[in-house]
Structure 1
């Protein structure tokens, strides 16, 4: 766990060495020299950094022998068109941004961006994750987006950056944020450091949840609390102009319409659009935006989107076609939206002074690294059953997957119960008790457990550099035998 950056950098280093050997033998290049020359910037500095990197350091940090790195590099070098995909396993570590940058570097080395059948493919999850960013809904909106809002609607948008999930919790804890408004989701259970998240929510003057189903976040609330029931996407959303469809964007950048097919659970339910537009009309009025008019016809909202985003021109006509339409990333056409106008190689050093390394220096081989994961019968924080067919676990979730050799080395037996304690620097005790040990084919020194049961173990300030993403896949922990 946490060896991704070192592994990918090792593959890149080996690909460079294979190219050096090909050049020396006057053979076919391994690098795509034409792509590098025409489309890239910074390759020379990147190559120099790779050549200076130590193989023993890379292999040790990756947890993968040199021979396996060599095999992987040769496999990659033989590929004519390669797609690199990744999910949260790559993103929830301290060096996750550097790891993804290194993966991009590796793909650029052989011209595998903007080539048919090749490219970078983050598995970004459900349509809210994908669509929010496309619509500019983030804590650090681009200045060009804010300028466009200003020009279209005739007001000056706030220019200060907002707060991501982790910083929101901190701001609620210290009183800077007093109102929490949740549009769906289960914030209390999806976030790290569960007891501190609970404390943060309870520190608010007001918490508001727009929800299709009750969840734990409705029970962990501020001094005043509202639950606003709403239609689900599977329910028919009938407004003045008839049933309404919302547009969603999948992880392949396809935008299409989604209509509910089930009768609403109640005739009193309002749609999310209706609720949000009603709040906007009550607070801002309808002078600049006809909020209530948009409720009656969602196509009018898509017309507004088209005014702000050029990529959504003729939005309603294009989305009405079977399958919708594709939002083409610039890099697919080898257009580089960077200051240099080129695809930029980024140099990142292999960091050795990490929280995991510091914890291991204190606790030696007693220190284990935990990752959280979801089970088979689970969607986000919603658990449908206690079975996990992916991993052969049935009828229970409070389990800890562990390598057989680690279990014996630590003096435990399969099926025994343990308590888990986080090793962190802030003096706060973080623990999760009563987990059953399950022998599993997982690398030595590593543990696996389910989300959200082990969220209390993730320190609030244990986050990825740059992105501030909680490091849910690399938590330093110790195990103790549970009390009877």
Structure 2
């Protein structure tokens, strides 16, 4: 067997398209967003199926979008378009009429499929039946559901320890499936439950739990609508959370000021043409950012300290008019220590460190000084740094100084990515379960769940590579493409005895596999889920802690697809057999039975079946939202944190590299090759560079280059990229994710959270030599 057949490509093919460049846009959405939304729907689903589903997506009584976790309005929702362009594209891919039959897998080897780009792989269609790749085989082949479950059970029961298996979860998985999944895994005997939170907002969860007592945000959608000031940091809402733009428009109509913080000038942070308004439809835009702070990569800590210093100086001039001393005295600990720390800094030095002129810093501080209803939003541009936890702590500091938590129009707003990533964690998907959570499981079910800490994403990859893990089971997601250090992760995956993926569509993780591999086709959110003639509902939790029902409405295109809750129930019965103490058949008979038991185990879900059927769902209790704090260090209080400025030992010829997403993708799913807002079309293998840096390096726009990182004596190289001239700070460069993941060392992680630090890697750029 050839090496190519033994080791299918772990990366996108190193080939270039005919790149087409335009001037970057200065506004987002408008008519082009409508056109793009409908184009994919019509192509993949046809008008009747696709348009009918769009009218039900994110509606009360409809189904939850499988894309981002932005919340739906509590009150009236748009009757025709409560979705965004990315949501429509996600629906098009899951509602497609194209399906992968046994004939498809017989005609296409694993190596052949791996030679395609990620976009080409994803566009093939829905997986229509379980398929199996035997040891040494080159093609997936059909397998019955019963045989698939038996094969997994045989592998799991043959392990020397349950800790030789690992169970990954993506953010698409519903509350019901997540709860059953963790229940099975813990009854099997391990806490090895890495999830996508480990790779995105784990820094947020750690920081907020430490400082305010809950690892979630504290705002509602109405708080954003009614805020006086909104700060948006490390986030590109126009591409990654487009429905957020509607909330920002409403805030602007209520006279909110918006401060944008980002290394790139992103269209969605500059202006918005809302196609659902007459003005937006005819082309009139609403200005988003009143002040745009184009910070250097990882300059956020310096920027926040600069704002705090300027606010402190303003407080000295007008005591009690800038800081909320009453709130600070009653609700916080550590104020004096923070002030002592802030006084040690010099504004000019902080300005240089963050890359933002002092005049712009002063403008932002003047806006903040006079207001108290402040919402601070952030995403992975903040969390995926070595000091990601510390930067979130500093965000909390700023909010506490202003008393901007626990009152209407104010609070902390980490904007989650995948649609139910927050709900997964609420449903106890976590490698570090709390003792009280484990005790509740034992009380309800009677078995002793394991207490030993499991592995997160980074630890699981290391354990695979070391041969300590034998079975990998993924409930959704594209693990290989989402994780850092792509080649290392691929080597780790190939050392497994069995890899299993529960999926709707084909992705690269199915093509870099263990000795044996299975793909189990799951129903999508938009698919009808019928059991004994009764349609089932599931539920999801959005970024703001609202849990609501999701009810599919499309006829599945194959009768061989199975819902995720039923997959877990059948897997558990096959693996645990009669020794299980969990009523799997009862759960498989009707999902109401799952929710009846969730409310016994998970706080905040009382009368779950009743609450979930209310129009718009219900809010999970949130102490800080109600002004009640319970930090780990000082019970009953929120705490200020002292964090140092980062010191970067960057060498001559090196650049700060960050990874970004194009407008035509969501997470690892690539919908197309048009990054419309940045003006980059028909190519993803690009590196965005400052014009001055291009010249200093003796390069020119359009040159073909290789990008390399050098950590701990190991060179990692991403080959064949095209230089694109772009407005980005000096010595800062950007590439698309997941193409840039190969450059990120596995050990390059955030302190305390172990989140991969993909937003800042030191790299070198050299001309490509064929």
Give the TM-score taking structure 1 as reference length.
0.95
2:595 matches 1:308:
no
CA distance in 2 between counterparts of 1:406 and 1:429 reads 22
2:304 matches 1:21:
no
2:656 matches 1:369:
yes
Work out whether residues 101 and 346 of structure 1, in 8 Å CA contact, stay in contact via their aligned partners in 2: yes
Q: SS in structure 1 opposite 2:674?
A: coil
Work out whether residues 420 and 433 of structure 1, in 8 Å CA contact, stay in contact via their aligned partners in 2: yes
CA distance in 1 between counterparts of 2:544 and 2:680 reads 32
In structure 2, stretches of 5+ residues that fail to align are: 1-296
CA distance in 2 between counterparts of 1:66 and 1:159 reads 51
After superposition, residues 191-206 of structure 1 pair within 5 angstroms as: 191-206=483-498
**Offset of residue 17 of structure 1:** 1.7
Q: SS in structure 2 opposite 1:411?
A: coil
After superposition, residues 350-429 of structure 1 pair within 5 angstroms as: 350-352=645-647, 357-358=648-649, 360=650, 363-364=651-652, 366-424=653-711, 426-429=712-715
Work out whether residues 126 and 251 of structure 1, in 8 Å CA contact, stay in contact via their aligned partners in 2: no
State the partner residue of 2:347: 55
2:770 matches 1:478:
no
CA distance in 1 between counterparts of 2:710 and 2:361 reads 31
State the partner residue of 2:619: 326
The more displaced of 236-245 and 109-118 is 236-245
CA distance in 2 between counterparts of 1:282 and 1:433 reads 45
Work out whether residues 420 and 542 of structure 2, in 8 Å CA contact, stay in contact via their aligned partners in 1: no
Work out whether residues 241 and 297 of structure 1, in 8 Å CA contact, stay in contact via their aligned partners in 2: no
**Offset of residue 241 of structure 1:** 5.5
CA distance in 2 between counterparts of 1:63 and 1:117 reads 30
Work out whether residues 299 and 316 of structure 1, in 8 Å CA contact, stay in contact via their aligned partners in 2: yes
CA distance in 2 between counterparts of 1:7 and 1:160 reads 40
Q: SS in structure 1 opposite 2:450?
A: coil
**Offset of residue 282 of structure 1:** 2.0
2:749 matches 1:463:
yes
**Offset of residue 228 of structure 1:** 1.2
Give the TM-score taking structure 2 as reference length.
0.60
Aligned CA RMSD, in angstroms, stands at 1.4
After superposition, residues 256-335 of structure 1 pair within 5 angstroms as: 256-285=548-577, 287-335=580-628
State the partner residue of 1:65: 357
Q: SS in structure 2 opposite 1:300?
A: helix
CA distance in 1 between counterparts of 2:357 and 2:751 reads 27
2:725 matches 1:439:
yes
Work out whether residues 126 and 250 of structure 1, in 8 Å CA contact, stay in contact via their aligned partners in 2: no
**Offset of residue 69 of structure 1:** 2.1
Q: SS in structure 2 opposite 1:463?
A: coil
Runs of 4+ residues over 4 Å off in structure 1: none
State the partner residue of 2:643: 348
Deviations 1:359-378 (A, max 9, x none): x2xx32x2111111111111
After superposition, residues 39-54 of structure 1 pair within 5 angstroms as: 39-54=331-346
Deviations 1:215-236 (A, max 9, x none): 1111101111111112112111
The more displaced of 166-175 and 338-347 is 338-347
**Offset of residue 56 of structure 1:** 4.3
Of 378, 384, 392, which residue of structure 2 is paired with 1:92?
384
Q: SS in structure 2 opposite 1:423?
A: strand
Aligned length: 471
State the partner residue of 1:229: 521
Work out whether residues 447 and 581 of structure 2, in 8 Å CA contact, stay in contact via their aligned partners in 1: no
CA distance in 1 between counterparts of 2:352 and 2:439 reads 48
Q: SS in structure 2 opposite 1:139?
A: coil
Deviations 1:407-439 (A, max 9, x none): 111111111111101132x22220111111111
The more displaced of 399-408 and 7-16 is 7-16
Q: SS in structure 1 opposite 2:739?
A: coil
CA distance in 2 between counterparts of 1:13 and 1:372 reads 30
In structure 1, stretches of 5+ residues that fail to align are: none
After superposition, residues 65-144 of structure 1 pair within 5 angstroms as: 65-144=357-436
State the partner residue of 1:337: 630
CA distance in 2 between counterparts of 1:440 and 1:169 reads 35
CA distance in 2 between counterparts of 1:15 and 1:404 reads 35
After superposition, residues 129-208 of structure 1 pair within 5 angstroms as: 129-208=421-500
Work out whether residues 399 and 435 of structure 1, in 8 Å CA contact, stay in contact via their aligned partners in 2: yes
Q: SS in structure 2 opposite 1:301?
A: helix
